[in-house]
A and B are shown apart, each in its own frame.
Chain A
Amino acid sequence: MAPSAATLVEAPLQSTVENIETNFQPFYVLHKASSRKNSRKSNLCGKSRKRTKLSPSGPNGIENLDNEEPDGSQLEHLRMECLELVWSKLETTIKDVLRDTNVQVFDDISRWVYESFAAIRSSGTPSSSSATRPFPTFTRAECKVLFTGLVLTKNMEVVDDLLTFEELGFHLKSHGCHVASLSSQELSAKSSIGGCIRSLLRQLLKVTVDAADMFILASWYREQGYYEKPVVVIVEDIERCCGSVLSDFIIMLSEWVVKIPIILIMGVATTIDAPANVLRSNALQQLCASKFILGSPAERMEAVVEAVLLRHCCMFSIGHKVAVFLRKYFLNQDGTLTSFIRAMKIACVQHFSMEPLSFMLARLLVEEENMDGNCASFLEVLPKHASDLLSDSRYSLVEGTDNNLGNILSELKRWRKKWSIVVLCLYQVGKFGKVQLLDLLCEALDPQFFKPLTSENSSRLQQEQGTSFSSSYELPYQFSSRKDGYIYQVVRKVRDLPAEFLHQLLMSWEKITGCVPEIHQNVKDLLLAFKLGNGKSSEKDIADLSKRHASRNGLFVKNSKPIMEKTESFLNSLVREHMRPVECIPFHELICFKDVRKLQLALIGDPRRRIQVDLLEFQKIIKCTCCSENMNSLLPCAHDSTIMYSLAQEHGDLINLHDWFQSFKRVISHPQAKGNHRTKQCSTPKKRKDKPTVERKSNASIQARFCTAVTELQIAGLLRMPSKRRPDYVQRVAFGL
């Protein structure tokens, strides 16, 4: 089925792929069109051929490159190219996923917009000449309501939704509405109503008028074709708007709504009663609200994770600790998709810049896209160099396998396919039990669970399976899930599934496992057994079941018991056999990013703590000899603010200014420090160098330096200036440490 179709799709592409080393882009763009499923299926049949070709034969046009030893910069260049390729693929995947999640709601919204437009129109449109008259037209109060769509974004942070609203704007525009959006800055108390109207005019009329008013909008609307299109005004986040300005704006719009059919769309980040909290009641009663619900951030996150880490064919993956960190970061710190995507990007960049052999990913990618594999030649450039790198000590070599690059890569690929299938299968079950994909993923990536098999286990396993393992080194290890872990829960969950869910599950498995024939066969068998087990009841009955399964459940329990056990044992074996955490795969370093510290540092800067630590341990940064030698005593050559801050450590929350000044003075004019005068040049401040030879610094200059340092500390947010009540004390602002 698939292969022939796939080759047809791929065939015309091959010519373009020939010159791939000069340019990635056309290759990539052309391939975007062919569906992912196709290319994945095609890999199956192409694999055998590919492997024979993978031996370093260096085909067309690369021999000359092959001769000269590639230097580091060339490698780096390759890695950067690979990074670009991988990241651009990931980015488009993420964008597609996000668009898909929103498309349904967007359609709903645009349908609703047109319904409301029809409702406005049906209540009687005034003649076009009266539209610009300054006095209100007489209609019933019901006609003066402003149709309002409340879009619940379900996330307190609005960062993700800015993009969503932008896309909503495009969507509505493409459906023939006039769209303008107002940000919270435009609805702030500072810019008031004039700012709102000006911004509306700027977006709709594309003119900037300094005396903006609604008359302009009305006459523009008449010019555009009176009552042909609705005008949609999007307010991105109602919580951040100034309530009184928004209320005034709404009341004004409602006076004009008969003349200009304006429809409001407002983003609500928190609860549905946010508009009631923000707006005044007389504005509130002008609204005729409908609500729309966007996917929750957790749902969107799941979709993105599934697409990027499981389904996506680019092999880049993350280690267990990184996954745990990302999960925690999402839950605890910053529940936005934006930060997750940023984290993925950072991970990608770090991986490709640190891992010498990471450029091999590109080769995997190319193979993935192109089943024949003969065009992946550009990456054959460095087989020798690569194997040199491979034999480097950083990769743990495994006996029993030849460390041939081709074998390694195809092994990695096979692993990846099976692993992602297992996780996806588990996720399908987990959907019924509300298990989050990220939790599952974290557990599936944990190398701790991949333990040596005890003898009794293995014998039992072999009894159960009756099959021999394909390769020798797989035998002694297996994935044993924790008793309280998510995977264990999920596997148990299968037992309790009602029949109709089980059927759904099996169907979804069949779809997922399509590309690994041995698993696929098992699923098919299960599905067959399910149908037989349910005997008389045909598939239609199963569909019916959803309606009245409560009543018929009793009947099914008996029938489906064995099949449930079978399914469970199948899932168990799936986990045991194919679930191998990435960090337990030889040469996983090629595709896996593990360095969680780097990611942490990049994402959680923790600037407050940093400032304080740096002030106290300034020697590490300045690296002057004088201070590094005697770490524990304060030297006058240190920077004033560090001296002050170190001295402040001796005080409590309140610091007596006089005491502080005295101790500062003592440190500054320390007699021992004179010996170090020569090395003073290494420290930065210029003032200090002014009169190094003058023995006694004047009190005034010390006082001035003291004041400067206090101000600096205050600016850094470590101090609070003296209050009126206690003028001789400053307070330490001591949070965060």
Chain B
Amino acid sequence: MSKEEDTKATRRTTRSSSAAVLRDSGEIKKKCGPHIPTFNDLVFGEDNISKEDLLSNFPGRHTQILELLNLLGPLNSPMLPLFVYGGTSTGKTSVILQIFRHLNRPFVYSSCRTCYSLRTLFESILNQLLLHEKDADNGYLSAKRCEKTSDFVNSLREALVKVVKTLQGNPGKIGTKKLTGQGHGHMIYLIFDNLELVRDWDKSSSILPFLFNLHEVLNMNEVGFLFISNTSPDTYYSNMGYLDPIPVYFSEYTEDDLRKIFIRNQTNQEMYSSFLSVVLGPFYRITRHVNELSIAFSSLYKTYCEASDDLNDVPNESSKRARFSRFQPHISPALNQIFKISSPPSEVNNLKEAKRKAGSKKFGGCDSSEHLDFHMSTSAKYLLLSAFLASRNPATLDASLFDSTGGSSSRKRKKRPSEKSIEQKEICEQELLMKGPGTFPLERLLAIFQCITSVAEISLEDDQGNVAMDSQNEDSELMSDVLLQLSSLCNANFVVKGGSCPLEGSTRYRSTVSEDMALKVARSIKFPLSKYMYRR
């Protein structure tokens, strides 16, 4: 029993007493009183589970769980750092957290996603160790401000020593704090989740070795390290003179594993298993991520149930087949669907929706609606088209496409292609496909813009003669704030810009619109786009 422990205890009592005072005076207007962090927060907290439950909760993860339990060892045994890796949603985080729930040992968890920078990571770890919680009373400040790795090592060591002493302190004292079950032991584990994100931080090259080396720097046997990452250790190690952590690999789930996972916790087991037998096969070929699958399945299962509602519930062969034939058309669109957009019922939208339904329903493929469904000014439309043309057509053809005849001459220039040239063309075509839309300088874009607007103006006047007045000005009007239009096109992600200043020569643009979109735009202003497109 040390002084620190005493002070800690007193601090805790003062805090809890102050909270009690608060509660007594009836000042708690908030639904939930302030949460006072205790040592209990370092363990998982909920009632712990048996090993059998643990194993049955994670079908397909038996070997990994047993391996991890082995590596963690019995109570109070020191360990080497572990490196747990495997693809996304293969159960790394949940398995580890549930293992700690089973073992009932204290740990500090920090995800590098939530802690998005070095400072937040350090401070989050220290806050947990020091049982500090940010709230309105302390102005949402951390227990310690810590930005540098050296500071962190010192503070961490201090905090860890304190915690370990508490853990080693007599179990009777802990017992008064209503810690149930067997003791926690005096090991504390630091878990770093989503470690792969650290690689994108600034100074990641020094942070990663630091984290991996932390075990040796601290040189405390009572601290265990676990790193969780979805990329393999090869992507981190740089031979910086630290001991390689012990790798634990979480493999992808097999189809059987997935079936077991999904069948768990289902009310209507038989129904669901017949559903899975239909669905899992095709989906397994696309993704094995439990997350993605469960989102896709939850909506599909609803339609599956609807499809079989009127059939009798006894799943015999014939009804199964009938159900399958009814359900089958839903599968393939769901396979392509990344992202589903529903539109909530509304009085106003209903009318519009009815019209638009065809277009928006099968999102993911091309939008089948004929019209452009958002507003763009005419000059922006022309600019978009010229950007599209500049990206698609080779620059050498500009002169022939946009001469005074307005592109019609390009038709005549077609030659009968020879065998060899066809072959060459195919190679070129593939090359262009790989390259994607080309880049172009601002001048070329503006030149094309000027050409197509001047051509279009004539046709525009023919179409609607009532805007005949001051037609000379029209051209210049379309032209006048073209740079402004360009910047708004860039903002809308239709044109991508590289470089900084548009007046320096270095800037090149690239149009990212699809051909469908460009055709739609062209149709809305009655522009003969196909005439100007160079077909290879």
The reply to whether the CB of B76 lies closer than 8 angstroms to some CB of chain A is no
Q: Chain B nearest CB: distance from A4 CB in Å?
A: 36
Looking at A332-340, A372-380, A559-567, A703-711, the stretch in contact with chain B turns out to be A332-340
Extra pairs beyond A136-B97, A156-B380 (8, CB < 8 Å): A108-B349, A112-B344, A135-B111, A207-B139, A211-B123, A251-B113, A332-B478, A604-B480
Of chain A, the residue at the smallest CB distance from B485 is: A333
**CB within 8 A of A606: which of B338, B442, B476, B489?**
B476
**CB within 8 A of B443: which of A104, A194, A281, A735?**
A735
A290-B344 in contact (CB<8A): yes
Looking at A69-77, A215-223, A382-390, A463-471, the stretch in contact with chain B turns out to be A215-223
Q: Chain B nearest CB: distance from A202 CB in Å?
A: 12
B32-A222 in contact (CB<8A): yes
Of chain A, the residue at the smallest CB distance from B191 is: A135
A219-B375 in contact (CB<8A): no
Query: Which residues of A243-264 have CB atoms within 8 Å of chain B's CB atoms?
Result: 248, 251-252, 255-256
The reply to whether the CB of A284 lies closer than 8 angstroms to some CB of chain B is yes
With a cutoff of 8 Å between Cβ atoms, the chain A residues found around residue B292 in the complex are 285
Cα separation A710 to B228 with both chains bound (whole Å): 59
With a cutoff of 8 Å between Cβ atoms, the chain B residues found around residue A252 in the complex are 113-114, 116
Q: Chain B nearest CB: distance from A394 CB in Å?
A: 24
**CB within 8 A of A285: which of B111, B339, B380, B466?**
B339
With a cutoff of 8 Å between Cβ atoms, the chain A residues found around residue B379 in the complex are 332-333
Q: Chain A nearest CB: distance from B212 CB in Å?
A: 21
With a cutoff of 8 Å between Cβ atoms, the chain A residues found around residue B352 in the complex are 293
Of chain A, the residue at the smallest CB distance from B125 is: A134
Of chain B, the residue at the smallest CB distance from A731 is: B505
Q: List 12 A-B contacts (CB under 8 A).
A: A112-B344, A134-B114, A138-B94, A141-B89, A157-B377, A197-B116, A222-B32, A284-B338, A298-B375, A605-B481, A717-B503, A735-B482
B367-A271 in contact (CB<8A): yes
B466-A482 in contact (CB<8A): yes
A736 with B504: in contact, given A108-B349, A134-B114, A271-B373 (CB under 8 Å)? no
B294-A141 in contact (CB<8A): yes
Cα separation A297 to B373 with both chains bound (whole Å): 11
Cα separation A176 to B127 with both chains bound (whole Å): 32
Cα separation A735 to B485 with both chains bound (whole Å): 15
Interface residue tally on A, bucketed by range = 35 or more
Looking at A79-87, A224-232, A363-371, A642-650, the stretch in contact with chain B turns out to be A224-232
A287-B339 in contact (CB<8A): yes
With a cutoff of 8 Å between Cβ atoms, the chain A residues found around residue B517 in the complex are 271
* Chain A 137-163 interface mask (CB, 8 Å, partner B; 1/0): 010111011000010111111100000
A485 with B466: in contact, given A290-B344, A292-B349 (CB under 8 Å)? yes
Cα separation A149 to B414 with both chains bound (whole Å): 51
Looking at B128-136, B218-226, B234-242, the stretch in contact with chain A turns out to be B128-136
Cα separation A278 to B127 with both chains bound (whole Å): 36
**CB within 8 A of A276: which of B117, B128, B133, B339?**
B339
* Chain B 132-170 interface mask (CB, 8 Å, partner A; 1/0): 011110011110010000000000000000000000000
**CB within 8 A of A108: which of B98, B111, B348, B465?**
B348
Interface residue tally on B, bucketed by range = 35 or more
A285 with B338: in contact, given A213-B124, A735-B450 (CB under 8 Å)? yes
**CB within 8 A of B466: which of A298, A443, A717?**
A443
Cα separation A331 to B476 with both chains bound (whole Å): 15
With a cutoff of 8 Å between Cβ atoms, the chain B residues found around residue A251 in the complex are 113
The reply to whether the CB of A130 lies closer than 8 angstroms to some CB of chain B is yes
The reply to whether the CB of A115 lies closer than 8 angstroms to some CB of chain B is yes
Cα separation A166 to B199 with both chains bound (whole Å): 37
The reply to whether the CB of A456 lies closer than 8 angstroms to some CB of chain B is no
Q: Chain B nearest CB: distance from A262 CB in Å?
A: 14
Of chain A, the residue at the smallest CB distance from B35 is: A129
**CB within 8 A of A207: which of B116, B140, B447?**
B140
Q: Chain A nearest CB: distance from B137 CB in Å?
A: 9
B290-A297 in contact (CB<8A): no
B113-A255 in contact (CB<8A): yes
A141-B295 in contact (CB<8A): yes
B378-A331 in contact (CB<8A): yes
A609 with B476: in contact, given A213-B115, A485-B466 (CB under 8 Å)? yes
A735 with B446: in contact, given A134-B114, A284-B339 (CB under 8 Å)? yes
A108-B346 in contact (CB<8A): yes
A214-B114 in contact (CB<8A): yes
Cα separation A84 to B191 with both chains bound (whole Å): 66
The reply to whether the CB of A98 lies closer than 8 angstroms to some CB of chain B is no
Cα separation A141 to B493 with both chains bound (whole Å): 32
B133-A269 in contact (CB<8A): no
Of chain A, the residue at the smallest CB distance from B453 is: A332
The reply to whether the CB of A524 lies closer than 8 angstroms to some CB of chain B is no
With a cutoff of 8 Å between Cβ atoms, the chain A residues found around residue B483 in the complex are 608
Q: Chain A nearest CB: distance from B2 CB in Å?
A: 27
B339-A289 in contact (CB<8A): yes
A220-B140 in contact (CB<8A): yes
A150-B341 in contact (CB<8A): yes
Of chain B, the residue at the smallest CB distance from A215 is: B134
The 5 closest A-B pairs by CB, nearest first: A135-B109, A735-B446, A128-B32, A108-B346, A141-B294
The reply to whether the CB of B70 lies closer than 8 angstroms to some CB of chain A is no
With a cutoff of 8 Å between Cβ atoms, the chain A residues found around residue B479 in the complex are 736
A134-B503 in contact (CB<8A): no
* Chain B 479-516 interface mask (CB, 8 Å, partner A; 1/0): 11111000011011110000000011100000000000
The reply to whether the CB of B120 lies closer than 8 angstroms to some CB of chain A is yes
Q: Chain A nearest CB: distance from B103 CB in Å?
A: 15
With a cutoff of 8 Å between Cβ atoms, the chain A residues found around residue B316 in the complex are none
* Chain B 323-362 interface mask (CB, 8 Å, partner A; 1/0): 0000000000000001111111011110010000000100
A156-B30 in contact (CB<8A): no
Query: Which residues of A264-299 have CB atoms within 8 Å of chain B's CB atoms?
Result: 269-278, 281-282, 284-285, 287-293, 296-298
The reply to whether the CB of A44 lies closer than 8 angstroms to some CB of chain B is no
A331-B30 in contact (CB<8A): no
A278 with B493: in contact, given A252-B113, A333-B481 (CB under 8 Å)? yes
A135-B97 in contact (CB<8A): yes
Cα separation A284 to B367 with both chains bound (whole Å): 19
Cα separation A215 to B115 with both chains bound (whole Å): 9
With a cutoff of 8 Å between Cβ atoms, the chain A residues found around residue B466 in the complex are 442-443, 482, 484-485
With a cutoff of 8 Å between Cβ atoms, the chain B residues found around residue A133 in the complex are 41, 45
Tell me which of A211, A239, A606 has the highest count of chain B C-beta atoms within 10 A of its own C-beta.
Answer: A211
With a cutoff of 8 Å between Cβ atoms, the chain B residues found around residue A141 in the complex are 89, 290-291, 294-295
With a cutoff of 8 Å between Cβ atoms, the chain A residues found around residue B111 in the complex are 134-136, 255
Q: Chain B nearest CB: distance from A431 CB in Å?
A: 14
Of chain B, the residue at the smallest CB distance from A335 is: B377
With a cutoff of 8 Å between Cβ atoms, the chain A residues found around residue B295 in the complex are 141-142, 145, 285
The reply to whether the CB of B210 lies closer than 8 angstroms to some CB of chain A is no
The reply to whether the CB of B477 lies closer than 8 angstroms to some CB of chain A is yes
A289-B344 in contact (CB<8A): no
The reply to whether the CB of A172 lies closer than 8 angstroms to some CB of chain B is no
A226-B32 in contact (CB<8A): yes
**CB within 8 A of A289: which of B94, B341, B474, B488?**
B341
With a cutoff of 8 Å between Cβ atoms, the chain A residues found around residue B380 in the complex are 156
The reply to whether the CB of B88 lies closer than 8 angstroms to some CB of chain A is yes
B340-A289 in contact (CB<8A): yes
B343-A290 in contact (CB<8A): yes
* Chain B 56-95 interface mask (CB, 8 Å, partner A; 1/0): 0000000000000000000000000000000011000110
A332 with B378: in contact, given A108-B344, A290-B342, A736-B479 (CB under 8 Å)? yes
A273 with B113: in contact, given A145-B295, A207-B139 (CB under 8 Å)? no
Of chain A, the residue at the smallest CB distance from B290 is: A141
Cα separation A736 to B486 with both chains bound (whole Å): 14
**CB within 8 A of A324: which of B94, B469, B488, B489?**
B469
Q: Chain A nearest CB: distance from B36 CB in Å?
A: 9
B376-A335 in contact (CB<8A): yes
B447-A735 in contact (CB<8A): yes
Cα separation A622 to B47 with both chains bound (whole Å): 88
The reply to whether the CB of A312 lies closer than 8 angstroms to some CB of chain B is no
